[in-house]
Amino acid sequence: MPSRRAASGRHVLAGNEHAYPRLRRVKACHPIASFRTIFLGFALLACAAPAGAAEPQLGLILPCGGQRGTELDITLSGERLGDARELLWYGLGIGVKRLAADAKHPQQIEARLAIRPDCPLGPHAVRVRTSTGISNLMTFSVGALCEVSEVEPNNDIEHAQKIALGTTVNGVITNEDVDCFLVVAKKGQRITAEVEGLRLGLDFFDPALAIMDTRRFVLASADDTPAVWQDAICSILAPADGNYVIELRESAFQGSQRCRYRLHVGSFPRPLAAYPAGGRFGETLEVRWLGDAAGPWSERIRLPAVPQLDFGYCARDAQGMAPWPTPLRLSKLRNVLKVEPNHQIAQATRFQAPAALNGVIAQPGDVDYFRFAAKRGQVFDVRVLARALRSPLDSVLTVLRSGGGVVAANDDANGPDSYLRFTAPADDDYIVQVTDQLHAGGPTYVYRIEVTPVEPQLTLGLPEREAFVDVTVPVAQGNRMAALVSAQRDEFGGKVDLEFKNLPPGVKVETEGITEADGAAAVLFTAAPDAALGGSLVDVIGRATVGPTRLEGHLKQRTSLVRGQNNREVWNQYTDRMATAVTRAAPVAIEVVEPKAPLVQGGAMELRVIATRRPGFDGPITLTLLATPPGVSTTSSVTMAGGELEASIPLTADGSARTGPAKLIVLGHVAIDGGTVVVASRFAKLEISEPFFRFTFPTVTVEQGQAAELAIAVAKNKEFTGTAKVDLLGLPAEVTSQPRQLDAAAKEIVFPIQTSGKSPLGKHRALLCRAVVTVAGEPVTHLLGTGELRIQKPTPAKPAEAAKPKAAVAKTAAPVVKRLSRLEQLRQARAQVAAAPQGRKP
């Protein structure tokens, strides 16, 4: 497969990496300027100049977007940005002319952007790379229209802010705010308003739009337009020459300072759907744009030849172009278009699978049919793409036999979109039927149904170490960092090899690939001590062999930008590369002391970690495991106290832990100026083995105040030398025992148990043995159990003669191999009582 993407459009700061550029003065009129002076004062008072802190945080970019073909100044505010070096752009078309960061003002940096005239419209994902880390991801929106800022007061029609048609307004909707904008239009002129609110990825902002005449008659209104999620598009053809007002508010008057918006107002076209909504890689597709106020029109579009994440196209006509791309599906499937009439099964449009079926549920209650032939046993995936392509359709998919019997049906497998897999039960014609769940329909109810044989697919991911914090890989100079790469496999097994393209110079990568048994693989990144500070977006490629074909998959990383109640995800940004950077040397390095002895199933181990500290650094180091092998668990973290150089991480393996070699990586987290630097250990090999022996516990019953013996049967699994020290744990209060030694040949281990008159009555089921074998000088701890001890009330005093034989039994029984169960003991005692001379009076 050809390279998926050229190098990112990033701009590296010129000059010495260690020389901080001077803070550039921003324009006095910028709304942020006044705030800045306030916290500038705070910063000077509160802290001495930090040397650059790790874990930079980006909170807001203002303005939230810009016009392409222009240069503009932006302010990026957040935390620990004082040593910013670079803006890492995931898309093409935005260059950075200047980046001004000042260690004294870590909460804000400024940049001058140069947006190329051909820069794609819509969101551009960006991270800030600093000397010590990589920030979270945010988006910056690029538009085609000239930009103005909202000017309050503009809360009603009388105070509407006058703007020209063809303007993008950057503004904010605070609590219960209403923003009004006045435009002048000629009769028949298209007035379109589109707001980017939620799509800016800042807050759960749900804008609502209306276009009114100056007498307050609402000509069009929109709250949630499916084409743009919770955002809104509103469009009319002006009924007369005159003034029109665009009103923007939060749909339930619940704005906030983070409810920023970009409102595009103009005569530009704004279709709500494309038909067909996709085509083959590299083909020139005739697309019919639907849902525009001025009616449909067609445009020929050359589709990209290679896969692109979330591909879309901004519709154009003589009046301009839409401000946001309409999604188009790229695939290798042939398009089949619905042929009218198509209202009954008999009129089904015929096609040959595989194919992409395209149509529109144009009227309420409309049902569309397609017919194809399949052989018995053929398996097909039938996937509806409707909401995925921002169609209002809520599909219901049914596959029927030619005679009408339902073979399979689905409603909402993929959100509101339907998906099903079915096996053809016979050689027959099959009907694919699609309709709207609410029996709705309309000109923009476009769908695309992909009917394909089952095909293997691979997508890579970066599992988050902390919920909703997307993974980046900042590698300190002369140190290591690690990440997990996961594989989402469809229809194939086997190993996935990993390749990392476009790593920063001086960074080496080490991984064993993703085995079939594991969903993810640990990847270790090492930066040479002399590696230059720098960053890149790394293309992570997974490769697998599936039968005769080689399968390739790429990274799809989700960044959760906006979440609602209970952290429900509302707005995510997907990216296809992994942000990696070489950062300044970290103050610590950690190593795992590779255990020589194995960790046994059902056993425990202390994993020793040794730290090397840079002189002068004695902060605590928090240690975590990047991942644990299946069946092995550990605590969430262990803290190596300040100044210490060693710590142990407890590992325990459950009885079913996978045996064999495993590789561990320990991460060390150190706090520097409020941020965290993370370093990784090397891979440490850990052998997980079966236990050396297994214990079988009998249930022992004893009366309060009596002694008993717990004889545990020992079955040896594995040879060992020397003796094992065995402790009996889990005894209730007032019950004691003694440790025992177990030699390699022993078949049984016997613990004396002594109770007192106060030993708690009842069943004590938590008896456990800790057996420690020494291998290569290291302890191998087994935790073996569990057994049960029953403590009973003493039986009433028996005749004196009865006690005798019991004592005799105990005496003689001890050396005898055969041990008596409680029941046997009782039977024996009874037999003896019965056999004793009759002492009773007649």
Partner 1 sequence: MKVMPRATIGWHVPERSEGRGVPANHALRGAQGRATERDPRSTNSWWGSLHSTHPTVSARPALLLLVIVMAGGNVLPAAAGVKLDVYPREIHLQGASAQQRFVVVATRADGVTEDVTARAKATLADGKRARLEGNLVRPVGDGHTTLTVEYGGQSAPVPIAVAAAAATRGVSFKLDVMPIFMRAGCNTGSCHGSARGKDGFRLSLFGFDPDGDYFRLTREISGRRINLALPAESLLLEKATGAVPHTGGKRFPADSPYYQTLLQWLETGAAADAGEVPKVEWVELYPPQMVLEGKGVPQQMVVRATYADGSQRDVTPLALYLSNNDNSAGINAEGLVTSANPGEAFVMARFSTHTVGSQVIVLPAGASYTPPDEKPVNYIDELVGAKLRKLRIRPAGLCSDEIFLRRVSLDIAGRIPSDDEYRRFIGDRAADKRARLIDRLLERKEFSEIWAMNWAELLMVHTTLDMSYKSVFLYSNWLTEQIAHNVPIDRMARELLTASGGTFSNPPTNFYQVEKDTLKTAENVAQVFMGIRVQCAQCHNHPFDRWTLDDYYSFAAFFAQIGRKQGEDYRETIVFDRQGGEVRHPVRGGVMPPKLLGGPQPDVQGKDRRAVLAAWLTSPDNPFFARSIANRIWAYFFGQGIVEPVDDFRVSNPPSNPELLAELARRFVEYHYDFRRLVRDICNSHAYQRATRVDGELSAQRNFAEARIRRLRAEILLDCVSQVTETKDKFQGLPRGAHAVQIADGTTTNYFLTTFGRSPRETVCACEVRTEPTLSQALHLINGDTVEQKIAAGGLISRMLAEKKTPAAILRTLYTRCYGREPSADELRRLLGLVARQKSEKQALGDVFWAILNSREFVFNH
Footprint of partner 1 on this chain (CB under 8 A)? 176, 178, 206, 223-224, 226, 229-230, 251-254, 387, 394, 412, 415-416, 437-438, 440, 564-565, 568, 570
Q: Pairing state of beta strands 395-401 and 379-385?
A: unpaired
Please report the sign of the dihedral spanned by the C-alpha atoms of residue 61, residue 64, residue 67, residue 73.
negative
Min dist. Cβ of residue 574 to partner 1 (A): 17
Min dist. Cβ of residue 155 to partner 1 (A): 9
DSSP 32: H
Min dist. Cβ of residue 93 to partner 1 (A): 30
Both tokens assigned to 765: 């089921």
Give the burial class of 344: count Cβ atoms within 10 A of its Cβ; 0-12 exposed, 13-18 middle, 19 or more buried: exposed
**C-alpha–C-alpha distance, residues 802 and 809, integer Å:** 11
Nearer to partner 1, 207 or 595 (CB): 207
**C-alpha–C-alpha distance, residues 292 and 272, integer Å:** 7
Give the burial class of 153: count Cβ atoms within 10 A of its Cβ; 0-12 exposed, 13-18 middle, 19 or more buried: exposed
Q: List the 146-149 sheet strands across, edge first.
A: 146-149, 167-172, 260-266, 190-196, 232-237
Which run of H or of E encompasses 301?
strand 297-302
Nearer to partner 1, 374 or 420 (CB): 420
Nearer to partner 1, 350 or 568 (CB): 568
Strand, helix or coil for residue 498: strand
Min dist. Cβ of residue 331 to partner 1 (A): 23
Min dist. Cβ of residue 412 to partner 1 (A): 7
Nearer to partner 1, 226 or 320 (CB): 226
**C-alpha–C-alpha distance, residues 421 and 452, integer Å:** 10
Nearer to partner 1, 564 or 739 (CB): 564
Nearer to partner 1, 253 or 281 (CB): 253
Nearer to partner 1, 148 or 440 (CB): 440
Give the burial class of 553: count Cβ atoms within 10 A of its Cβ; 0-12 exposed, 13-18 middle, 19 or more buried: buried
Q: What is the DSSP string of 341-407?
A: --SSGGGPEE--SSEEEEEE--STT-EEEEEEEE-TT-EEEEEEESGGGT-S--EEEEEEETTS-EE
Min dist. Cβ of residue 416 to partner 1 (A): 7
Nearer to partner 1, 508 or 563 (CB): 563
Q: Which residues pair with 723 in a beta bridge?
A: 743
Distance of CA 607 to the CA centre of its chain: 28
Nearer to partner 1, 377 or 564 (CB): 564
Residue 698: partners with Cβ closer than 8 Å, 6 or more residues away: 710, 711, 712, 713, 787, 819, 821
Strand, helix or coil for residue 33: helix
Q: What is the greatest pairwise CA distance in the chain?
A: 130
Strand, helix or coil for residue 18: coil
Give the start-end residues of each E strand in 614-747: 621-625, 632-634, 638-640, 646-653, 660-664, 666-672, 675-680, 684-689, 693-696, 699-703, 707-716, 723-729, 735-736, 740-743
Nearer to partner 1, 218 or 532 (CB): 218
Contact, 261 vs 177, CB < 8 A?
no
Phi-psi region of 251 (alpha: psi -120 to 50; beta: other; left: phi over 0): alpha
Nearer to partner 1, 175 or 639 (CB): 175
Nearer to partner 1, 226 or 506 (CB): 226
Min dist. Cβ of residue 394 to partner 1 (A): 7
Which run of H or of E encompasses 593?
none
